Structure 1
Amino acid sequence: MKKSHGPAFRATQLDLALCPACRGRAVIKGVFHELACVQCNASGWVDAETGEALPLEVLVTQLSMCLQAADRQIEQLKRPAQMTGPAAIYQQNNRRGAGGSNWTGD
């Protein structure tokens, strides 16, 4: 067991699951109006391992980490795929042709 003093240097990302009571909607249908879900602190998310509601400080950190990961994934999917191999060389301009145009060697 590794000894450590003080808080961790980096926050670890926990596995989150949808709240089973409200099914991720953060509200429960009452008789006349909707009530905030008490099982998940009206967030719609619980700890996947224990099923318990996360404290608000931890919940904000975890949701921020999930949002940043989703943003990174969206940005990665927006970028065009990089061509590799002969196709990449064939498509770029090498300025070796007549008048500085592309020479493919065909």
Structure 2
Amino acid sequence: MTGKRHGPSFRRELKFIIECTTCGGTGIFSGVFHQMDCPHCLGPGWLCGHTLKPLAASDIVPVLNSRLRDALAEIAKARQLLGADSAGPGPERHYQENNRRGAGGTNYTGD
């Protein structure tokens, strides 16, 4: 068998979305006395990247969820590269350790 030939796809494909240029991705704009939903994106702050039309929240949420997971993984990778662990990042961990250089073998930080 060469693959799937009919029916719905096995995986849901993520839409290409962009920030609304009218509201700057906030979904609101300020009127004279109060804030209102953006008339271009109808509130979410995101548009279809191909048609520039508003999308339903059910189409936007999976894309934003995927972007959030990618960003959190990138942050975790950057923390690993910096050597951060439960004791704190590198220089801070060295500062907090007892170096026994003070009076009576106490910690001396030079402050």
Asked if these proteins are the same fold (TM beyond 0.5), I'd say yes
Alpha-carbon separation, structure 2, partners of 1:4 and 1:31:
53
- Report the counterpart of residue 35 of structure 2 in structure 1: 34
Aligned letter for 1:74? Answer: I
- Report the counterpart of residue 51 of structure 2 in structure 1: 50
- Cα offsets for 1:7-39 (capped at 9, x unmatched): x22222333211022111210121211101242
- Report the counterpart of residue 5 of structure 2 in structure 1: 3
**2:99 aligned with 1:73:** no
Structure 1's unaligned 5+ residue stretches are 82-106
Structure 2's unaligned 5+ residue stretches are 83-111
Q: CA 1:41 to 1:63, structure 2 compared with 1: closer, same or farther past 3 Å?
A: farther
Cα deviation for residue 77 of structure 1 reads 1.6
Contact 2:44 2:57 in 1 (8 A): no
Cα deviation for residue 79 of structure 1 reads 1.3
- Report the counterpart of residue 21 of structure 1 in structure 2: 22
The 5-angstrom pairing of residues 88-103 of structure 1 reads: none
Q: CA 1:78 to 1:12, structure 2 compared with 1: closer, same or farther past 3 Å?
A: farther
Give the secondary structure class of the aligned counterpart of 2:7: coil
Aligned letter for 1:50? Answer: T
Alpha-carbon separation, structure 1, partners of 2:30 and 2:61:
25
- Cα offsets for 1:28-70 (capped at 9, x unmatched): 1212111012422312111112111111211111111111111
Moved over 4 A (4+): none
Aligned letter for 1:80? Answer: L
